[in-house]
Amino acid sequence: QKEVEQNSGPLSVPEGAIASLNCTYSDRGSQSFFWYRQYSGKSPELIMFIYSNGDKEDGRFTAQLNKASQYVSLLIRDSQPSDSATYLCAVSFGGTSYGKLTFGQGTILTVHP
Amino acid sequence: DGGITQSPKYLFRKEGQNVTLSCEQNLNHDAMYWYRQDPGQGLRLIYYSQIVNDFQKGDIAEGYSVSREKKESFPLTVTSAQKNPTAFYLCASSIDVAGGAYEQYFGPGTRLTVT
């Protein structure tokens, strides 16, 4: 069973701080890694994806991938109250999986003013 | 205006009835997926389809059925055999962005309540 694990939180950070969200996965054959943000009652929206080791930056968001250690993280700089949401890590195992994603259970982030 | 639509947004059914959830996309994506989300949980894959007239079971397909007669449409039927059908159902479609890396986008979801 391919697994994706996230700390469920909640993670609470003050406004303006860096929020760090972590995700580990069990299958070394995993190829692509995605971070989604989900507001309460809404559907997930794609923030970033990464498939090469290292960092990928997009605005206030940075995704970090370490395939040797089998973890992927998401940093949110200058956190805002509007970043308060559940963050879902998702992993694609490549091959003939045709983009199937396995999701972690999500980390609840609260940014307080 | 491109996107994924799901209807209805809220659906109420009596136990023992089959119900069909609609999913339509005009993004010209080949692959489509159905997920289920329970409170406080991540998403679990029900069915997925890579091309028209072909689909595969996901991790929790029992009690569900799908069809893919058109590229744009991937309806999900929740049958009376599904033991715990009350959940938030999400449809997604995807495009290959990097030789096997698929970016997956979600519709707004249908919240099904069965009593």
Mean pLDDT of A49-54: 90
Whole-angstrom Cα distance, residue B61 to residue B59?
6
Please check whether residue A7 touches B, CB under 8 A.
no
B79-B15-B41-B111 Cα dihedral, nearest 10 degrees: 90
For residue A98, the model assigns a pLDDT of 62
Query: Is the per-residue pLDDT at B52 higher than 90?
Result: yes
B42 and A51: CB-CB below 8 Å?
no
Least confident of A26-30, B76-80, B85-89: A26-30
Interval A65-75: pLDDT, tens: 999 999 999 99
Res A11 pLDDT > 70: yes
Residues paired with residue B24 on neighbouring β-strands, in sequence order: B5, B73
Provide the token pair at B70.
């058109």
- Is the sign of the CA dihedral A92, B29, A48, A107 positive or negative? negative
Phi, psi of A106 (to 5 degrees): 95, 150
Per residue in B6-47, pLDDT tens? Answer: 999 999 999 999 999 999 999 999 899 999 999 888 899 999
Q: How far does the CA of residue B79 sit from the closest CA of chain A (Å)?
A: 23
Closest to A58 measured CA to CA, from A71, A74, A44? A74
Question: Given an 8 Å threshold on Cβ–Cβ distance, is B96 in contact with A92?
Answer: no
Alpha-carbon distance B101 to A108, whole Å? 26
Note whether B48 and B36 are within 8 A (CB). no
